[in-house]
Structure 1
Amino acid sequence: MIRTVTPDDIPVLHAMIRELAEYEKAADQARATEEQLREALFGERPAAFAHLAESGGEPVGFALWFLNFSTWRGVHGIYLEDLFVRPHARGGGHGRALLTELARICVARGYERLEWAVLNWNAPSIASYEALGARAQDEWTTYRLTDGALAALGGTDGGTSGAGSAD
């Protein structure tokens, strides 16, 4: 069963985000708090949306997403930030069900893209996505500014001093 996350689901969503970070070998980078998730999902101006996969009433996975916009197509799309299924529930169709729900939302709302990123080493997920008809966008390279590099560029000096980290 797939359902929209409610405010009462924040603790379990937060726990699964931590589990995802551990799976991706980046537990130290997952700093989001329950309060931040609550604000992002249910605040005055929600910036993200989430769905839970349940099996026997137990949360076994989630999809957290937000809207993007294609200037070429002139319409919104969905960017899937995180998709995670707990290890004991993998292979049960929960990931596919979450992706199906997001595709359904896209179709119903006239969105023309459902996009996400996957770590290069995550062969099982890549195989699953390709089996659905998803195709890697190999001609694009993702860039990211965070921490010192973001502060330097966004600071009052206009980014003219200091290199900082781009991790």
Structure 2
Amino acid sequence: MKKITTRLATLADIDQLAVMFDAYRQFYALAPDPALSRQFILDRMLGNESVLILAEDEAGAPAGFCQLYPTFCSLAAAPIYALYDLFVRPEARQFGAGRALMLAAEAHALRNGAVRLDLTTARTNLPAQSLYSGLGWKRDDIFYAYSKTLAA
């Protein structure tokens, strides 16, 4: 079994993050766009707009990543994080990378004073849902999520 470790990503990780981010977007049926993926991740990092956590195997090869966006909860009057992106490379699945990333995200949020983590996932992504439930996450059956696409 591969040993998985996690750490905060740095600018030195941009190329491997961009490749995984592009694969993540393709998982959600978007066309490949390596340049867009790289620029998006680079912009988030340069602007300190997100937290990127990288999972690596014992040889230092990238296994996956997650991206957290800091925000606030008005009702709790406290900071929270939105765990927006979670991706594990297909060849690294079943080695605990997803679990390690989730636990690292939780630890980061706690260290930074957040009172909650939120995420959404596709209804068809049953493996992810199983992971989340197994780590104590509760599915929201009270609120509906809405979105509206705006013209670019």
How does the TM-score come out when normalised to structure 2? 0.87
Q: Which residues in structure 2 correspond to 1:4-153 (within 5 Å)?
A: 4-27=8-31, 32-43=36-47, 46-55=48-57, 56-146=59-149, 150-151=150-151
**Number of corresponding residues:** 147
Deviation at 1:28, TM superposition (A): 5.7
SS state at 1:63 partner: strand
Sort the Cα spacing of 1:141 and 1:31 in 2 relative to 1 into closer, same or farther, 3 A.
farther
CA distance in 1, matches of 2:50, 2:14: 13
Q: Give runs of ≥4 in structure 1 deviating > 4 Å.
A: 28-31
From the CA coordinates, give the structure whose radius of gyration is larger: 1
Deviation at 1:22, TM superposition (A): 2.1
Name the TM-score, length of structure 1 as normaliser: 0.80
* RMSD (Å), alpha carbons: 2.0
Unaligned runs of 5+ in 1: 153-167
Q: Percent identity?
A: 30
How many Å apart are 1:3 and its aligned residue? 1.0
